Amino acid sequence: MRVITGSARGRKLITLEGDDVRPTTDIVKEALFSIIQFEIEGRKVLDLFGGSGQLAIEALSRGADSAVIVDLSRKSVEVIKQNLEHTGFSKKAVVVQSDAMSFLSRRTEKYDIALIDPPYSKGLVEAALDKVHEVMNEGGVIICEAPYKDELPEYAGNFRLQKKYRYGKTGLFLYRLSEEEA
């Protein structure tokens, strides 16, 4: 696993081993950042279910101003901190060891980009969508990674599912402020 482009291009990232870990493939990660490529510069990113932190790190490498990375696992938090140190982004990111829903319930800070990539088939995407819209800036974007076959809700608060992308069995679900709310 590596940083695809930007200031940390080519830097290798470490990840945890095991059945509970499912890092985003380079193909899906590249597609995700192609979708939002003109919306990253200077933005505040929220990476829920951070894992190795690779999605937030990719955003920072491409010019995001700051990132908050949330993961419940102590081991994941340590890996994320190591990856931030290795890529030089420790000062631009905050790592929070917390359940994503608890984090969202007590947060008042607003974000421009939310990246949601939880373990599959546990209902976590839907639960996160139910709360994440409350911490989004107007004009923000929410992107979820889930199995393409999953039927995600059409709305997350006033954010509407704008487009669904397919990469093999993986889907990227893009939510933006609905036109009625814009």
- Name residue, tokens 């420790």: 90
Residue 94 belongs to a domain = yes
Please check whether residue 161 lies inside any domain of the structure. yes
Q: How many domains does the chain have?
A: 1
- CATH number of residue 42's parent domain: 3.40.50.150
Q: What is the pLDDT of residues 131-161, one digit of tens each?
A: 999 999 989 999 999 999 999 999 999 999 9
State the residue range of the domain holding 161: 26-177
Question: From CA 98, how far away is CA 100, in angstroms rounded?
Answer: 6
Tens-place pLDDT, residues 95-118: 999 999 999 999 889 999 999 999
d(CA 34, CA 40): 10
Pairing of strands 136-147, 170-177: antiparallel
pLDDT of residue 4: 87
Give the tens place of pLDDT for each residue, 28-72: 889 999 999 999 999 999 999 999 999 999 999 999 999 999 999
Assess contact for 11 and 86: CB atoms under 8 A.
Answer: yes
User: Cα separations (Å) of 118 from 21, 34, 48, 90?
Assistant: 10, 21, 7, 23
Q: Look at residue 75 and tell me if it is in a domain.
A: yes
Q: What is the pTM (predicted TM-score) of this model? A: 0.93
